A = this chain, B = another copy of it.
Amino acid sequence: VNRPADQPAITAPDFSHGLVTAVVQDDADGAVLMVAHMNQEAYELTRSTGHAWFWSRSRERLWEKGETSGNHLVVRSITIDCDGDALLLRVAPAGPACHTGARSCFHNPVD
A residues apposed to B, CB below 8 Å: 1-4, 6-7, 9-12, 21, 23, 25, 29-32, 34-35, 47, 77-84, 86, 88, 98-111
Question: Which B residues touch A88, using CB under 8 A?
Answer: 32, 106
* Oligomer: number of copies: 2
- A101's closest neighbor in chain B, by CB? B4
- Bound-state CA distance A34–B34 (Å) is 15
By the criterion CB–CB under 8 Å, are B30 and A29 in contact?
yes
- Bound-state CA distance A23–B89 (Å) is 13
Q: From the candidates B9, B35, B83, B102, name the one contacting A2 in the complex (CB within 8 A).
A: B102
Contact (A47, B110) CB under 8 Å given A1-B31, A101-B4, A102-B2: yes
By the criterion CB–CB under 8 Å, are B82 and A3 in contact?
no
Question: Which B residues touch A99, using CB under 8 A?
Answer: 82
Contact (A81, B106) CB under 8 Å given A31-B30, A32-B25, A35-B86: yes
